[in-house]
Amino acid sequence: MNRFIDYLDISGEVLSAMRNYEPIVALESTIISHGMPYPNNITTALELENIIRDNGATPATIAIISGRIKIGLSREELELLAKSKDVIKVSRRDIPSIIAFGKTGATTVASTMIFAQLAGINVFATGGIGGVHKGAEVTFDISADLTELAQTNVAVICAGVKSILDIGKTLEKLETLGVPVIGYKTNDFPSFYTRKSGFHVDYKFETAVECANIMKAKWDLNLDGGLVIANPIPHEYEAQQELISKAIDMAIYEANKNNISGKEVTPFLLAKIKELTVGESLEANIALIKNNAALAAQIAVEYNRLIEK
């Protein structure tokens, strides 16, 4: 007997959407606790939820609060994640201990996917997915996000992979895992802060309907696993490639010098890049996640129409 429901709390808004078979979009919480400084994080979290509502879907921000899996957060819970220094970054391996000992954790892409699938949510908006880190041939540092994409039935709308990663190796790994990489109105895989990486996507789609159709076909055929729907950052917010590249190189150098490793690497690098770019990267980060939230809601609406037929 599956007992996951014993650990799950679903907000009134999300539960109402489920009961009425309405489209829902999952949102991660690591971006609140570890991805942005206060008050940008709480402001952005609330704006993302409203963008999803404005595009016809219900937002479900996901986290673990005092050992309970929360699908949909209250304003107070969002504030807790935004302000507290004791929130743990939670990926798949961390889930059992965080829940068993009643701790509070913010979900990464991988853990958000897991909880979204448990709750029956198929669409998830984030900033950028994790991937293969530079130097992984020595360190073997590869994000659990990729493994989750291979086995969990959730479509992830993102601005590509974080530009601190080895994009070529990440795409090779996704190919090996059988994860379709779709470019939304682009043939070029986006590089988080910038619209192009020089690497191609598997398929280019022009509409939310097309994205919904491939989701349905994949899962109707019992081809388990997610999809990456790569949505480039809007032109007007695209960062300068040279500036970002220099900042990334410097941030990686600082991380290595200070022996930063494991789950601490990405938050350290993002904070250092923000510092080196005088906030330009933060502005880009906020713009791209808003753009992804809008598209995710549109895809969720179209997918919901398809499965109702």
- 151-191 pLDDT, tens per residue? 999 999 999 997 778 999 999 999 999 999 999 999 999 99
Is the pLDDT higher at 128 or at 137? 128
The pairing of strands 58-65 and 68-71 is antiparallel
Q: Tens digit of pLDDT for each residue in 42-71?
A: 999 999 999 999 999 999 999 999 999 999
**Structure pTM?**
0.91
Residue 2 has pLDDT above 70, yes or no: no
Q: Which of 186, 136, 189 is nearest to 165 (CA)?
A: 136
| Residues in contact with 189: Cβ distance below 8 Å, sequence separation at least 6, in sequence order | 160, 167, 171, 181, 183, 196, 197, 199, 200, 201, 230
49 is catalytic: no
Residue 145 has pLDDT above 60, yes or no: yes
Structural domains of the chain in order of their starting residue, each with its CATH number: 4-308 (3.40.1790.10)
Catalytic residue among 28, 79, 148, 238: 28
CA dihedral over 193, 256, 126, 137, signed as positive or negative: positive
Is the pLDDT higher at 10 or at 247? 10
Q: Tens digit of pLDDT for each residue in 75-88?
A: 999 999 999 999 99
272 is catalytic: no
Residue 148 has pLDDT above 90, yes or no: yes
Work out the pLDDT band at 278, boundaries 50, 70, 90. low
Is the pLDDT higher at 92 or at 163? 92
The pairing of strands 227-230 and 181-184 is parallel
Catalytic residue among 70, 162, 173, 290: 162
* Mean pLDDT score of the chain: 92
Q: Tens digit of pLDDT for each residue in 180-224?
A: 999 999 999 999 988 999 999 999 999 999 999 999 999 999 999
pLDDT value of residue 309: 64
